């Protein structure tokens, strides 16, 4: 390094240079680092002073030991003057500076053993170090140095925006829990089906499960890529199948809340067997308020016998007298899922009666919550299937079908309309599912 005065003095050295006849007062400032030197340059040459050369090296010491790091900055006042004062870097200086830089300890952020091997890069390095020490502000968006002088000029740009102080490191916080439900990357058709099913009263979680299964595990096997039938198929598969019937006499009971359509189910079923079947058909009504008048009015014209029993003993006696091939359809008093005593009493009667099938009449018009409540609340009656009623009165079959899926109960019959003829059909779950999916 060229001797330009003593280290630590920070005494500026004057160097008058001229370019195009105009003398420029270039001065040299020295110190341990840019952070030491730059405030003094600004004080002496003003805020818009321009550095035209920066040199790093080591000074002093004995036999190469105990030498101290130093920095020298040649600066001029004002940008115009600086541009005129620029001189191409001295190759000899560069060689010596580079040698000094590369021999400096790596711990020094300004000049380290890893300093790159070109003048521009060296200056760039100095600029970054200066930034780190918060001695200067860099012009936001200024291009990286292509020429050493322009990069250095940027260090002193008068319009430089102050670098905001680094924000304090955020306190360690627990990583946010992963979202349980991430928006699925489904095709648009799947999202449309999802919305439609949810809109028809099916629980959102169940819908996501069914549509997701169809998208992930059925669509890859579909040659046509039509999603609706796949979702409908998946929905139907979620419903358990009806148990197989035994040969011989069959006793089929309907239970449910008041007005749910129990009596209508009984009469419609009895009429269907009586009119088109070849088995003897009988109706039994347990503790009816009207002595069985309503039921009789519906089925007597088809020759179906109706027996009103006041207790389980009377009901059992009636059934035992019937033909071994008979179809016996049993009507029961309405019961609330909240009425525990009534539920217990009815459950005991039905156990004695030994129903082969116990169908819960579930109005399709119920909300998902009410449907679930009804299904859960009447399970003690020995329910093994759901007969959906009032299906003609709603487009929102999702609640009833969802309740069946949740309870793992098959859907046995579908009731529509208020008339006695027809109106009750064995449930075809695929058709029901297609109707729901739309
Ligand atoms: N629209 C429509 N009306 C129905 C349906 N099922 C029954 N109903 C009507 O609903 C009313 C009650 O039907 P019921 O069969 O008497 O109901 P229930 O469960 O036996 O009633 P309780 O014996 O009083 O507990 C009647 O007016 C029926 O015509 C149906 O699927 N759709
Ligand atoms: Mg009734």
What does the pLDDT look like over 377-400, one tens digit per residue? 999 999 999 999 999 999 999 999
Q: 66 in a domain, yes or no?
A: yes
Distance CA 399, CA 384 (A): 18
Which of these three, 107, 135, 155, is where a domain ends? 155
In this predicted structure, the answer to whether residue 169 has a pLDDT above a threshold of 50 is no
| Ligand 1 atom nearest residue 256's Cα | 19
Ligand 1 pocket test: pick from 254, 257, 261, 413 the residue with the most ligand atoms within 8 Å of its Cβ: 261
Both 277 and 230 in one domain: the answer is no
The per-residue pLDDT for range 250-279, each reduced to its tens digit, is: 999 999 999 999 999 999 999 999 999 999
Does a structural domain hold residue 279?
yes
- 60 shares a domain with 121: yes
Rounded average pLDDT over 58-68: 54
Of 20, 1, 138, which is closest to residue 74 (Cα–Cα)? 1
pLDDT at 68: 66
Residues with CB under 6 A from ligand 1: 256, 258-264, 334, 389-390, 392-393, 415-418
Tokens of 107: 């711990």
% of the chain at pLDDT higher than 90: 54
Q: How much is the pLDDT for 58?
A: 63
Which of 201, 216, 237 lies at the terminal end of a domain, its last residue?
237
Query: What is residue 66's predicted lDDT score, i.e. its pLDDT?
Result: 52
Write down the pLDDT at residue 76: 81
Residue minimizing CA distance to atom 21 of ligand 1: 259
Span 27-33, average pLDDT = 81
Looking at the CA of residue 423, tell me the nearest atom of ligand 1: 31
On whether residue 129 sits in a domain, the answer given is: yes
CA of 288 to the centre of ligand 1 (A): 15
Which pLDDT belongs to residue 127? 52
Ligand with an atom nearest the CA of residue 335: 1
Give the residue-averaged pLDDT of 213-237.
94
Alpha helices in 26-172 (DSSP H): 34-45, 79-85, 91-103, 119-132, 148-155
Given ligand 1 and candidates 259, 342, 411, 416, which is best to mutate, with the most ligand atoms within 8 Å of its CB? 259
Q: Supply the pLDDT for residue 377.
A: 97
Distance, first Cα to last Cα, the chain: 86
Q: Hunting for tokens 């924000």 — which residue is that?
A: 167
Ligand 1 atom with the smallest distance to the CA of 415 is 31
pLDDT at 239: 96
- Residue 59: strand pairing partners: 68
pLDDT at 124: 52
Q: 289 alpha carbon to ligand 2 midpoint, in Å?
A: 9
Q: What share of the chain in percent tops pLDDT 70?
A: 67
| pLDDT digit string, tens, across residues 137-167 | 333 333 333 333 343 334 333 344 444 444 4
Domain contains 24: yes
265 exposure class (CB count in 10 Å sphere: 0-12, 13-18, 19+): buried
Name the more confident of 225 and 106: 225
CA angle 381, 272, 354 (to 5 degrees): 25
Residue-averaged pLDDT of the chain: 76
- Please, which pLDDT band fits residue 61 given cuts at 50, 70 and 90? low
3, part of any domain: no
**19 and 149 co-located in one domain:** yes
pLDDT tops 90 at residue 185? no
Residue 77's pLDDT band (cuts 50, 70, 90): confident
Q: Report yes or no on 137 lying in a domain.
A: yes
pLDDT at 54: 74
Which pLDDT score, from 0 to 100, does residue 184 have?
A: 63
Q: Output DSSP code: residue 218.
A: I
pLDDT band at 128 (very low <50, low <70, confident <90, very high): low
How do residues 310-338 score in pLDDT, each as one tens digit? 999 999 999 999 999 999 999 999 999 99
Can you give the residue range of the structural domain that contains 199?
188-237
C-alpha 14: how far from its chain's center? 68
The residue with greater pLDDT, 325 or 61, is 325
User: Of the residues 237, 272, 307, which one is the last residue of a structural domain?
Assistant: 237
Nearest Cα residue to atom 28 of ligand 1: 418
Examine the pLDDT at 376 and tell me if it is beyond 60: yes
> If you take atom 10 of ligand 1, which residue's CA is the nearest one?
261
Beta-sheet strands, E only, within 156-300: 250-255, 281-286
- Eight-class DSSP state of 63: T
**pLDDT tens, 81-97?**
444 444 444 444 444 44
Please report the DSSP string for 222-236 in residue order. -SS--HHHHHHHHHH
Distance CA 29, CA 323 (A): 120
Q: At what angle do helices 188-199 and 398-407 cross, to 10 degrees?
A: 90
- Pick the range with the lowest mean pLDDT from 6-15, 165-174, 361-370: 6-15
Residue 99 pLDDT more than 90?
A: no
200 and 256 in a single domain? The answer is no
Shared domain check, 19 and 148 = yes
Q: What pLDDT was estimated at residue 53?
A: 76
Q: Is residue 180 part of a domain?
A: no
Q: Are 268 and 261 in contact (CB under 8 A)?
A: no
* Lowest-confidence pick of 77-91, 215-229, 424-438: 77-91
Q: Which ligand ends up closest to the CA of 308?
A: 2
- Give the number of domains in the chain: 3
Do 22 and 106 share a structural domain?
Answer: yes
User: The domain spanning residue 376 has which CATH number?
Assistant: 3.40.50.300
Q: Tell me whether residue 120 is in a domain.
A: yes
* Residue 343 shares a structural domain with residue 301: yes
CA distances from 233 to 117, 200, 214 (A): 70, 17, 8
Residue 261 shares a structural domain with residue 406: yes
Q: Which pLDDT score is estimated for 438? A: 85
Do 367 and 301 belong to one domain?
yes
Q: Specify the residue with its C-alpha closest to ligand 1, atom 7.
A: 261
Task: Kindly indicate the confidence band of residue 18, based on its pLDDT and cuts at 50, 70 and 90.
Answer: very low
Mutate to test the pocket of ligand 1, among 362, 418, 420, 423 (most ligand atoms within 8 A of CB): 418
State the DSSP code for 391: G
Mean pLDDT of 22-43: 75
Full DSSP string of 21-60: TEEEEEEEEEESSHHHHHHHHHHHH-TT-EEEEEEEEEE-
Distance 245 CA to ligand 2 centre (A): 26
């Amino acid at each position: 390094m060229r001797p330009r005065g003593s280290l630590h003095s920070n005494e500026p050295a004057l160097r008058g240079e001229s370019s195009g006849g105009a003398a420029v007062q270039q001065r040299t400032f020295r110190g341990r680092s840019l952070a030491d030197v730059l405030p003094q340059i600004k004080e002496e040459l003003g805020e818009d002073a321009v550095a035209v050369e920066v040199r790093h090296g080591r000074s002093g010491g004995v036999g190469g030991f105990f030498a101290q790091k130093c920095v020298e900055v040649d600066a001029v006042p004002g940008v115009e003057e600086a541009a005129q004062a620029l001189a191409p870097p001295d190759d000899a200086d560069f060689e010596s500076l580079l040698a000094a830089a590369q021999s400096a300890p790596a711990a020094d952020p300004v000049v380290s053993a890893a300093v790159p091997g070109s003048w521009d890069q060296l200056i760039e390095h100095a600029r970054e170090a200066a930034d780190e020490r918060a001695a200067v502000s860099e012009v936001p968006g200024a291009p990286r140095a292509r020429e050493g002088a322009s990069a250095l000029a940027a260090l002193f740009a008068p319009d430089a925006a102050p670098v905001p102080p680094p924000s304090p490191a955020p306190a360690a916080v627990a990583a946010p829990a992963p979202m349980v439900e991430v928006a699925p990357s489904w095709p648009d058709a799947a999202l449309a089906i999802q919305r439609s099913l949810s809109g028809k009263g099916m629980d959102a979680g169940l819908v996501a499960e069914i549509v997701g299964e169809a998208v992930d595990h059925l669509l890859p096997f579909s040659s046509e890529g039509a999603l609706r039938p796949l979702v409908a198929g998946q929905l139907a598969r979620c419903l358990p199948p009806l148990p197989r019937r035994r040969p011989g006499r069959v006793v089929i009971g309907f239970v449910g809340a008041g007005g749910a359509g129990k009596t209508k189910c009984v009469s419609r079923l009895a009429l269907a067997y009586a009119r088109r079947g070849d088995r003897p058909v009988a109706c039994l009504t347990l503790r009816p308020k009207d002595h069985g008048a309503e039921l009789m009015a519906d089925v007597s014209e088809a020759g179906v016998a109706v027996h009103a029993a006041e207790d389980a003993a009377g009901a059992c006696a009636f059934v035992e007298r019937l033909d071994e091939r008979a179809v016996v359809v049993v009507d029961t008093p309405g019961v609330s899922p909240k009425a525990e005593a009534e539920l217990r009493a009815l459950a005991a009667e039905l156990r004695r009666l030994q129903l082969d099938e116990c169908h819960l009449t579930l109005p399709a018009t119920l909300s998902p919550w009410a449907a679930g409540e009804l299904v859960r609340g009447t399970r003690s009656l020995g329910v093994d299937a759901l007969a959906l009623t009032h299906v003609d009165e709603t487009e929102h079959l999702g609640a009833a079908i969802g309740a069946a899926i949740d309870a793992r109960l098959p859907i046995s019959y579908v009731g529509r309309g208020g008339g006695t003829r027809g109106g009750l059909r064995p449930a075809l779950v695929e058709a029901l599912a297609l109707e729901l999916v739309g």
